[in-house]
Amino acid sequence: MKPATWLAIAFAVAVLAVIVFSTFHQERVSCRVCMSFNGRRDCRTASAANRQEAQRTAVSNACAQLASGVTESTQCENTPPDSVDWVR
């Protein structure tokens, strides 16, 4: 093979290695959020790269079980959680 082909293969392997490494070696935080809405209660756990995103995802997941429709989902997600427990 020509040297240019080897360089292209090496570059592709290096880019792929960086993508795989950055995907699997991120620090993640997890939290368990309990929500009450319309007389019902649900708890969900979520993980993300930071605390804010983990809590937002857990709240959204809990509200998906508690609310029906866009209006109720928005109201539920704007309700403060009953509890937030940080796992790691």
14-44 pLDDT per residue, tens = 888 877 777 666 678 999 999 999 999 999 9
Determine contact, residues 35/63, Cβ cutoff 8 Å. yes
Determine contact, residues 66/35, Cβ cutoff 8 Å. yes
The answer on pLDDT for 1 being more than 70 is yes
Question: What residue ranges do the domains of the chain occupy?
Answer: 29-86
User: Whole-model pTM above 0.75?
Assistant: no
The answer on pLDDT for 81 being more than 80 is yes
